[in-house]
Amino acid sequence: MQAVAAAPGKSPPRRVGRARLTTADSLGRTGLDLFIKYGFDHVTVEDIAEAEGIGRRTFFRYFSSKNDLPWGDFDGLLLRMRSRLAQAPAETPLFDALRESVVDFNRFPHDEVPFLRQRMTVLLTTPTLVAHSALRYQAWRRVVAEFVAERLGVARDSHMAITLGQVCLGISLSAYEEWLVDDSLVLADLISGGFHDVRAVFAY
């Protein structure tokens, strides 16, 4: 199901105990395929477990809920975003630092784009997942807010920091929404354009 060797730096293969039957990655792809094929609401956890050859109970040891499956390794995404923000030179204005970080965060290798498209289609068009994703977005916004807070020398829960976290997320989501309906658009351009659109309206 997945021939990829364990990436270096990951947890080393267990030394003792029964070997795992699968991986979160493999299970995630199996589930996502089923969601795309039959629709999220028409696939039960039992269906996914059966397709992967594991028990229903075991499914919940890889993903804490059915809703969590499509996001995959979200903690990795958060690290990715943090690293993009950290790369911004201190002399770059905050607007540009945020814009460039968000744009870079959403750059993916060409061969991963079709998969990203599938994943985001499921995430943004399934009501259950639109709702659940709000919890994930909270964590992403916090990363942005912490960066803003540090840059401006204010508290990480200050109004300014929280607000800019919200705004960056909003710009990202609207870009994705647009991107999903038009194959020919480039995600990075849409995000950058969103930042400039907001500037155009807010600084009339």
Partner DNA sequence: ATAGTATTGGCACAGAGTGTCGATGAGAAG
Partner DNA sequence: CTTCTCATCGACACTCTGTGCCAATACTAT
Choose, by CB under 8 A, the member of 178, 180, 188, 192 that binds its own copies. Answer: 178
Nearer to DNA, 16 or 203 (CB): 16
SS3 content of the chain, % helix, strand, coil (to 5): 70, 0, 30
Nearer to its own copies, 38 or 95 (CB): 95
Binding partner selected for residue 101 from its own copies, DNA, none, CB under the kind-specific 5 to 8 Å limit = none
Q: Which of residues 10-69 bind its own copies (CB under 8 A)?
A: none
Nearer to DNA, 86 or 131 (CB): 131
Which of 89, 26, 99 is CA-nearest to residue 59?
Answer: 26
Nearer to its own copies, 79 or 135 (CB): 135
Minimum distance from residue 130 beta carbon to its own copies (Å): 6
Which of 25, 24, 98 is CA-nearest to residue 61?
Answer: 24
CA distance 56 to 111: 32
Contact call for residues 52 and 22 (beta carbons, < 8 A) = yes
The reply on whether position 94 binds its own copies by CB under 8 A is yes
Decide: helix, strand or coil at residue 132.
helix
Q: At what angle do helices 159-181 and 94-105 cross, to 10 degrees?
A: 40
The reply on whether position 171 binds its own copies by CB under 8 A is yes
The reply on whether position 125 binds its own copies by CB under 8 A is no
The reply on whether position 198 binds its own copies by CB under 8 A is yes
Minimum distance from residue 46 beta carbon to DNA (Å): 6
Q: Which residue has the tokens 């990795």?
A: 76
